[in-house]
């Protein structure tokens, strides 16, 4: 029986060339798998036909937008996950979903290997290969671009020699990866970290410096899930898409940062994530109202570690699974409404209300209606500071 290889297929130059290259070099049949996570661009049928025209024996295309939103973006939202306290894991979140579809296709079609088009400098090679190892440890992995030092020029020449149906006449000055959770832009003139981004870098967001009216909205959450915007019921995907549109129109969600890649390289990245940043801002605010103090403090530690694990390609790791259980438990009371104003590149919370709120007006107020017994405070303060006071006396004796 002829060996089969499942290829993570984007429809672009490198993965289109990889179909024929793998077939020629190994004699294997190639099954192309393309997954729609809201990246836009060509429709799935066009991508499928191109894969077949480039030599794939089968082309599997999956509309995974709802799956991505509900099973990957939502957990990131509930964790308030921001790598290095800024990046909402745009590319990192989509990779484990793609890995799942690749391994499913490998099982269905009897493949013995999975191939991807990642380079040796980036994080995605790790995310793909570690994820594949976790879900299907017996599968081999092929990485032609990395392992055989492909260049764009070599790929173009290979495609032209074989008359592959690929348009290679235009090349963006940037490397771009995007999905419904956000958009990542790198390379080109951005590699000089002194250069400021120009407006043509951006696609999901309008220039926040341009004058426009503010946009006010109310987001409703039920157990940490966004379920309505301005009273209109939405799915998780619809919530992200609607806030991409409305927050993006106000320039919300632009990030310019030098981040620490897993491979040890510092990389300059420009991100746009209007829906993600607006939702995380609202969700954090509702947690401030509904989570008990110590649970909230510990959750911030969990959020940082959760984000690092996902960024580092460890979505399927035991620690990530354990942290998921903690995050899920914290969401039981994160129900209520958050009012936000979107304007000038900022998402600002202006109101919050919840039947699960731990905020007690009568305890918080300094005015009429105050029920807090201030007589209890003196003894509390003395006991709270007692260990430090004892230690200070000892140190002064020395």
From the annotation, which residues make up the binding site for ATP? 8-16, 117
Query: Has 4 been annotated as catalytic?
Result: no
Binding positions for L-aspartate: 119, 123-124
d(CA 384, CA 258): 41
**Cβ neighbours for 100, distance < 8 A, ≥ 6 positions apart:** 131, 135
175 is catalytic: yes
How does DSSP classify residue 235?
Answer: -
Secondary structure element (H or E) that encloses residue 59, with its range? strand 58-63
Q: Of 36, 48, 50, 124, which one is the catalytic site residue? A: 124
CA distance 345 to 80: 20
Question: Is residue 357 within 8 Å of 290, Cβ to Cβ?
Answer: yes
Name the token pair of 288: 């401030």
Tokens of 202: 């951006």
Options 175, 317, 354, 357, the catalytic residue: 175
**With b meaning 16 or more CB within 10 Å and e meaning fewer, what string describes 20-36?**
bbbbeeeebbbbbbbbb
Written as one string, the DSSP assignment of 323-391 is: HHHHHHHHGGG--EEEEEEEETTEEEEEEEE-TT----HHHH-SSTT----GGGHHHHHHHHTHHHHHH
Half-sphere exposure of 318 (CA within 13 A, CB side): 0
Q: Are 65 and 8 in contact (CB under 8 A)?
A: no
Active-site residue 167, yes or no? no
Catalytic residue among 50, 95, 183, 346: 95
- CA-angle at 69, arms to 301 and 293, nearest 5°: 25
- Opening angle at CA 34, ends 271 and 163, nearest 5: 105
Q: Residues forming the annotated binding site?
A: 8-16, 87, 117, 119, 123-124, 127, 175, 259, 271
Give the HSE-up count for residue 23: Cα atoms under 13 Å, Cβ half-sphere. Answer: 17
C-alpha distances (whole Å) from 271 to each of 3, 200, 225 are 40, 13, 24
Catalytic residues: 14, 95, 124, 175
């Amino acid at each position: 029986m002829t060996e089969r290889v499942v290829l993570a297929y984007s429809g672009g130059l490198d993965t289109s060339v990889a179909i024929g290259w793998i077939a020629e070099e190994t004699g294997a049949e190639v099954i192309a798998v393309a997954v729609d996570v809201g990246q836009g661009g060509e429709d799935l049928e066009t991508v499928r036909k191109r894969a077949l025209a480039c030599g794939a024996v089968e082309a599997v295309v999956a509309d995974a937008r709802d799956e991505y939103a509900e099973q990957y973006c939502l957990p990131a939202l509930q964790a308030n996950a921001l790598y290095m306290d800024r990046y909402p894991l745009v590319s990192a979140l989509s990779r484990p979903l793609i890995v799942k579809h690749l391994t499913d296709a490998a099982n269905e079609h009897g493949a013995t290997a999975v191939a991807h088009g990642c380079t040796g400098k980036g994080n995605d090679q790790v995310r793909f290969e570690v994820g594949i190892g976790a879900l299907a440890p017996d599968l081999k992995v092929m990485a032609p671009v990395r392992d055989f030092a492909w260049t764009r020029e070599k790929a173009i020449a290979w495609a032209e020699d074989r008359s592959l149906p690929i348009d290679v006449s235009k090349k963006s000055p940037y490397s771009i990866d995007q999905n419904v959770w956000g958009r990542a832009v790198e390379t080109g003139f951005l590699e000089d970290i002194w250069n400021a981004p120009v407006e043509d870098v951006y696609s999901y967001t309008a220039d926040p410096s341009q004058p426009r009216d503010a946009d006010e909205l109310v987001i409703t959450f039920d157990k940490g899930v966004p379920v309505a915007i301005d009273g209109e019921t939405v799915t998780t995907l619809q919530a992200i898409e609607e806030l991409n549109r409305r927050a993006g129109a106000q320039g919300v969600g632009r990030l310019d940062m030098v981040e620490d890649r897993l491979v040890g390289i510092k990389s300059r990245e420009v991100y746009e994530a209007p829906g993600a940043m607006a939702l995380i801002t609202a969700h954090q605010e509702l947690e401030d109202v509904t989570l008990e103090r110590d649970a909230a403090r510990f959750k911030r530690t969990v959020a940082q570690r959760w984000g690092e694990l996902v960024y580092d390609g460890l979505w399927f790791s035991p620690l990530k699974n354990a942290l998921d259980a903690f995050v899920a438990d914290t969401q039981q009371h994160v129900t209520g409404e958050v009012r936000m104003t979107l304007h000038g590149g900022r998402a600002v919370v202006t109101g919050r209300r919840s039947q699960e709120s731990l905020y007690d007006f009568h305890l918080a107020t300094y005015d009429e209606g105050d029920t807090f017994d201030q007589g209890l405070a003196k003894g509390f303060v003395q006991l709270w500071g007692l260990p430090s006071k004892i230690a200070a006396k000892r140190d002064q004796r020395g």
